């Protein structure tokens, strides 16, 4: 069993969120901690002094109306100042925050509220209120907008919690044990029903103590941020990196959905640090081609480093940052590890799949079955109300089983796949579907998602989902491969992708892992049909279930399907077959 330990020791860790806030208001007093755009489209900020005072008021007033230590409050909202202040107030007082995705439909929202056992709820406004029932067992609901709903006569506007407390009073609990749970966060649920991860004060703050050793983030830094706070990448890793170090956190007004708006906000904020995913980096880089001025704005002289997660940044794009002296840092972790376990060293040449070495305080080992296991102060307590999952989540000697498969290399940990995605063919051979999925997605930018399946079958097949926006409006300047052209329809994409799919197949060493056929389905994966998670990751089990008829057809059945589809046959004795609904 190979083990990888951090190069540096962790050192002292702030014991709890209350202490962090008390220290930071003294250090940063009149400095802007957070800003977002007002109704006029102008960024408006709040100083640490006012921010701290608001958090103290919220904690005090919560106590006055009966919120007790250890109680839970679900926060059903997208990122905003009210949400941030409320979260920190609950944690500093001794309560537990349970953030959930702002766009959840009624069924999912109520499922998680009930599962969490929270008896308090705060929500953004009418959209969220419409997605909950008046029958929920809640003591109180707060709204971040001043609304009236006859179903909830006792609904309270958040301003009631901002009422000024008596002078020199504080209900912050600086004696809270570092082992006290302060955050319950639901996982993305890529392989099924979301799990509720219970995180402690020390999980969040040990992470920041570790990061402060390995990278240079200061109170002079500027974050432009859109990552959602119900998810660990945004709500723990990015958000607390800014708060802990006194950096200015600027909320991106399109919430990461509109590259043009992100770019306009980029001009205003001139971020020194940016956390994102590869698809957003690519969209922003495409905008820099419009002019030299746009290029200079994006690659601004103050940009110290960018951080990417969820997937590796494509090499061509990474090179654009590196040749301008902007560091590219990648990392790996899970919500259960709060979330960061490893970081890459930007001074080393990037290797596909390599996610770096452990951060201070964290150790990693690879078990005999190649599963990655982790130990450190960043590891969760356990899942809430999930005995089945908790049964085998820790080894006998206390290491957390991540469910990821990998190997230890000279330059750090290398990821291979999720353990539960690896499947066996009918002949017993093991297939790692993510190898081919990545190869397909990297080969053609018209492919938005690829899912390889084939458990118990003689060979694997692939379901491919194109970027419908690109098909409708081809970008004739974007050509990742020589000889690539811009298809304008499913037929053209099918003919074009046949060669790319064959090359992706050829990149695999194992002959049995190659797909013999693929269906390009003219449909979109989405949150609404549960084929994407709130963090925009593919939910493979749900995709396979939803498009099962397409899979049956690839294995020789003749089942009617609703979606338009192009079938690619890659066996030498077969030709491409056009198939419609």
Q: What is the mean pLDDT of residues 330-352?
A: 92
Q: Which of 361, 348, 316 is nearest to 412 (CA)?
A: 348
1 pLDDT band, cuts 50/70/90, is: confident
DSSP 312: P
Predicted local distance difference test score (pLDDT) of residue 481: 53
Q: What is the mean pLDDT of residues 497-518?
A: 90
What is the 3-state composition of the chain as percent helix, strand, coil, each rounded to the nearest 5?
30, 25, 45
Predicted local distance difference test score (pLDDT) of residue 484: 63
- Residue 574 pLDDT exceeds 60: no
Instruction: Summarize pLDDT for 265-300 with one digit per residue, the tens.
Output: 999 999 999 999 888 998 899 899 989 999 999 999
Q: Alpha carbon 106 to chain centroid distance?
A: 22
Predicted local distance difference test score (pLDDT) of residue 563: 94
Q: Alpha carbon 103 to chain centroid distance?
A: 15
DSSP 301: T
Q: What residues form DSSP beta bridges with 451?
A: 463
Please list, in sequence order, all residues whose beta carbon lies within 8 angstroms of the beta carbon of residue 292, skipping any fewer than 6 positions away.
none
Predicted local distance difference test score (pLDDT) of residue 278: 84
Angle value at C-alpha 418, between 229 and 520, nearest 5 degrees: 90
Q: What residues form DSSP beta bridges with 435?
A: none
Contacts 24+ apart (CB under 8 A), 554-559: 554/461, 554/517, 554/518, 554/519, 555/457, 555/461
Helix, strand, or coil here: 453? strand
40-44, 415-419, 449-453: segment of lowest average pLDDT: 415-419
| Distances in whole angstroms, Cα of residue 270 to Cα of each of 94, 218, 221, 247, 293 | 36, 15, 10, 13, 14
Q: Which of 302, 308, 340, 229 is nearest to 6 (CA)?
A: 340
Q: What is the mean pLDDT of residues 194-221?
A: 96
Q: Alpha carbon 168 to chain centroid distance?
A: 39
Predicted local distance difference test score (pLDDT) of residue 441: 83
Q: Which of 106, 100, 103 is nearest to 121 (CA)?
A: 100
C-alpha span between 46 and 21 (Å, rounded): 15
Predicted local distance difference test score (pLDDT) of residue 189: 66
Which residue ranges make up each domain of the chain? 17-25+44-176, 422-579
Q: What is the mean pLDDT of residues 489-505?
A: 89
Rounded to two decimals, the pTM is: 0.88
Instruction: Summarize pLDDT for 528-549 with one digit per residue, the tens.
Output: 888 987 767 888 999 999 999 9
1-10, 379-388, 481-490, 498-507: segment of lowest average pLDDT: 481-490
Query: What percent of the chain stands above pLDDT 90?
Result: 77
C-alpha span between 259 and 265 (Å, rounded): 10
Q: Which of 276, 283, 244 is nearest to 260 (CA)?
A: 283
581 pLDDT band, cuts 50/70/90, is: very low
Cα within 13 Å of Cα(371), Cβ side? 16
CATH number of 422-579: 3.30.300.30
Contacts 24+ apart (CB under 8 A), 33-41: 33/243, 33/246, 33/248, 33/249, 34/81, 34/84, 34/248, 34/249, 34/250, 34/251, 35/248, 35/249, 35/250, 35/251, 36/80, 36/81, 36/250, 36/251, 36/253, 37/251, 37/253, 41/253
190 pLDDT band, cuts 50/70/90, is: low
- Tokens read off for 98: 């349970």
Question: Count of H helices and E strands in the chain?
Answer: 18, 28
191 pLDDT band, cuts 50/70/90, is: low
C-alpha R_g of the chain: 25
Angle value at C-alpha 241, between 237 and 243, nearest 5 degrees: 125
579 pLDDT band, cuts 50/70/90, is: very low
127 pLDDT band, cuts 50/70/90, is: very high
Please list, in sequence order, all residues whose beta carbon lies within 8 angstroms of the beta carbon of residue 546, skipping any fewer than 6 positions away.
529, 530, 531
| Distances in whole angstroms, Cα of residue 271 to Cα of each of 221, 240, 266, 327 | 8, 17, 7, 14
- Residue 476 pLDDT exceeds 70: no
527 pLDDT band, cuts 50/70/90, is: confident
Angle value at C-alpha 340, between 334 and 341, nearest 5 degrees: 95
Predicted local distance difference test score (pLDDT) of residue 460: 95
| CATH architecture type of domain 17-25+44-176 | 3-Layer(aba) Sandwich (3.40)
575 pLDDT band, cuts 50/70/90, is: very low
| Distances in whole angstroms, Cα of residue 509 to Cα of each of 315, 497, 513 | 22, 21, 8
Identify the residue with better confidence: 27 or 487. Answer: 27
Q: What residues form DSSP beta bridges with 157?
A: 143
């Amino acid at each position: 069993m190979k083990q990888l330990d951090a190069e540096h020791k962790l050192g002292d860790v702030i014991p709890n969120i209350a202490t962090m806030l008390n220290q930071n208001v003294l250090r940063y007093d009149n400095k802007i901690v957070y800003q977002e755009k007002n109704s006029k489209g102008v960024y408006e900020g709040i100083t640490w002094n006012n921010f701290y005072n608001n958090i103290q008021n919220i904690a005090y007033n919560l106590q006055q109306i009966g919120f007790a230590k250890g109680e839970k409050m679900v926060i059903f909202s997208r990122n905003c100042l009210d949400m941030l202040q409320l979260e920190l107030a609950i944690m500093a007082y001794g309560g537990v925050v349970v953030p959930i995705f702002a766009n959840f439909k009624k069924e999912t929202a109520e499922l998680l509220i009930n599962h969490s056992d929270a008896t308090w709820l705060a929500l953004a406004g009418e959209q969220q209120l419409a997605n909950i029932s008046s029958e929920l067992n809640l003591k109180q609901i707060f709204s971040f907008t001043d609304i009236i709903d006859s179903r909830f006569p006792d609904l309270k506007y958040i301003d009631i919690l901002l009422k000024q407390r008596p002078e020199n009073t504080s209900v912050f609990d600086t004696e809270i044990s570092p082992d006290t749970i302060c955050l319950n966060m639901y996982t993305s649920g890529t392989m099924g029903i979301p799990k509720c991860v219970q995180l402690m004060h020390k999980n969040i703050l040990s992470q920041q103590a570790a990061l402060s050793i390995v990278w240079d983030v200061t109170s002079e830094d500027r974050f432009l941020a859109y990552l959602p706070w119900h998810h660990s990448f945004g709500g723990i890793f990015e958000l607390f990196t800014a708060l802990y170090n006194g950096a200015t956190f600027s909320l991106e007004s399109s919430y990461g959905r509109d590259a043009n708006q992100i770019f306009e906000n980029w001009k205003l904020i001139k971020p020194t640090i940016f956390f994102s995913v590869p698809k957003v980096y690519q969209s922003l880089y495409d905008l820099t081609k419009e002019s030299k001025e746009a290029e200079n704005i994006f690659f601004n002289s103050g940009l110290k480093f960018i951080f990417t997660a969820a997937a590796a940044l494509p090499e061509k794009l990474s090179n654009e940052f590196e040749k301008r002296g902007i560091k590219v840092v990648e990392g790996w972790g899970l919500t259960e590890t709060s979330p960061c376990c490893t970081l890459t060293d930007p001074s080393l040449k990037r290797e596909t799949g390599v996610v770096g070495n452990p951060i201070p305080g964290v150790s990693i080992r690879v078990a005999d079955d190649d599963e990655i296991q982790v130990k450190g102060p960043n590891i969760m307590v356990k899942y809430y109300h999930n005995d089945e999952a908790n049964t085998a989540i820790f080894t006998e000697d206390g290491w957390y089983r991540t469910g990821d498969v990998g190997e230890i290399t000279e330059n750090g940990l290398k990821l291979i796949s999720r353990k539960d995605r690896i499947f066996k063919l009918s002949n017993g051979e093991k297939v790692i579907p993510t190898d081919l999925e990545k190869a397909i997605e990297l080969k053609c930018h018209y492919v938005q998602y690829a899912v390889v399946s084939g458990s118990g079958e003689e060979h694997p097949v692939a379901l491919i989902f194109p970027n419908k926006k690109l098909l409708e409006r081809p970008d004739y300047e974007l050509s990742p491969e020589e000889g690539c052209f811009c298809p304008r329809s499913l037929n053209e994409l099918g003919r074009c992708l046949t060669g790319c799919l064959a090359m992706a197949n050829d990149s695999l060493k194992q002959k049995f892992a190659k797909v013999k056929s693929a269906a390009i389905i003219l449909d979109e994966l989405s949150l609404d049909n549960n084929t994407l998670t709130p963090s925009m990751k593919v939910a493979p089990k749900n995709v396979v279930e939803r498009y099962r008829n397409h899979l049956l057809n690839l294995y020789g059945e003749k089942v009617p399907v609703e979606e338009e589809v192009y079938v690619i046959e890659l066996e030498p004795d077969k030709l491409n077959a056009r198939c419609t609904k």
